[in-house]
Amino acid sequence: MLTINHNNTQITLTQEAYLAGTNERPICQANAADADGNEYQVNWAVNKDYMDQGGELDSACDWDNPTSIIKI
């Protein structure tokens, strides 16, 4: 699973990212956790040309640069 450095804390996705949001404002989203068990919601903006690239989730977002990480 993907690991992201957030505010000097390594967080690791605990699930595969999935499409969420609305048709007008789609996002990719996944839950994550750090080593202390704190949980996070990670969001990514969907690339504008996502559907032109075949609609594959692998190319939907810039996975190295989430748009928000929210502690839940």
What's the CA dihedral at 56, 13, 41, 60 to 10 degrees?
A: -10
pLDDT tens profile 25-68: 889 999 999 999 999 999 999 988 776 666 677 778 889 999 99
| pTM, two decimal places | 0.86
Polymer length of the chain: 72
Q: Is the pLDDT of residue 10 over 80?
A: yes
